[in-house]
Amino acid sequence: MPSELERAGAKPIGDHWDHDTIRLTAAGVLAKSSNIGTVIAARQSDKQKLADYLADFGLGQRTNVGVRGETAGILPQGQWSDGARDTIAFGQGLSVNALQMTAAINTIANGGVHVDLSLVKGSTTTDTGLEVGTDHTETRRVVSERAAKDTAEMMELVAQPDGVSPMAAIPGYRVAGKTGTAQRVVDGRYDGSFTVSFAGFAPADDPRFTVYVVIQDPQNGQGGGGAAGPVFAKVMTYLLNKYGVPSTGTTPSTLPVEW
């Protein structure tokens, strides 16, 4: 991987840290949260297939959990340009809400099957006539069980010492996760502030809980790993203890970060 990725007619893409040429594996790209590596990987995929996958994960559409004012986010429709594919690949060319991201990460935790989100156990009807609740949830397979398992194993590296969020680790448990850093847009322009996040699940090889932490404008310019990762660890630790979830006792992911 180069230090910058050149693009025709546009600014080159860089990573959040300075580096010379490096050789990251796909797992290493996730562990280091490399924009360059993500774009290189996305360029191997058909644009329409990539768009279809993102839609199947629930992006660009309301979750319809019954909360007023929920945004559908922005997932560009139609034929993407090469530049659009590049920026969408690392998250700058689209927008999502927290519920969508939670459901998307949970799809990986759930063996590749997307489950509609619910805020109500059972059934209720909103004032607009929408029936919501666990009685009305639907599921759909987005990726194969093998693909979900492989992705989860790569995501484990994020919370390991070589990853960008070692503070998201929980002693005795395997944790899978992914950081996020988004530039905030106000009146059509970036305002200089950031929203950072950490999404993950545990135990990574037998998931019981999915947790998504979002922090707006963190102090000291921290990213998702430094600001949201520790919060994730505290919340997940509480859940695992409260519900008596034992450690699986299996060996954490040992996938190589570099080749």
Instruction: Say how far apart CA 220 and CA 196 lie, in whole Å.
Output: 12
- 257 lies in a domain? no
DSSP letter (8 states) at residue 226 = I
- 253 lies in a domain? no
pLDDT bin (cut points 50, 70, 90) of residue 214 is very high
pLDDT at 121: 95
Average pLDDT over residues 86-111: 95
Instruction: Say how far apart CA 176 and CA 152 lie, in whole Å.
Output: 6
pLDDT at 51: 96
Return all residues near 212 (Cβ < 8 A) that are at least 6 apart.
Answer: 98, 101, 102, 105, 197, 198, 199
Number of folded domains that form the chain: 1
- 248 lies in a domain? no
**pLDDT tens string 161-202:** 999 999 999 999 999 999 999 888 888 788 888 999 999 999
- 215 lies in a domain? yes
Coil/strand/helix, residue 32:
helix
pLDDT at 115: 97
Instruction: Say how far apart CA 74 and CA 25 lie, in whole Å.
Output: 30
pLDDT bin (cut points 50, 70, 90) of residue 8 is confident
Return the structure tokens found at 4. Answer: 């910058």
- 229 lies in a domain? yes
- 259 lies in a domain? no
Which of 79, 67, 76, 169 lies closest to 128, judged by CA? 67
Range of the domain at 223: 5-242
Q: Which amino acid is at 254?
A: T
Instruction: Say how far apart CA 111 and CA 104 lie, in whole Å.
Output: 12
pLDDT at 101: 97
Average pLDDT over residues 231-246: 98
Average pLDDT over residues 215-242: 94
- In the chain, % of residues over pLDDT 70: 100
Average pLDDT over residues 217-240: 94
The residues that bridge with 143 in the sheet, in sequence order, are: none
CATH code of the domain containing 174: 3.40.710.10
- 256 lies in a domain? no
- 140 lies in a domain? yes
pLDDT at 145: 98
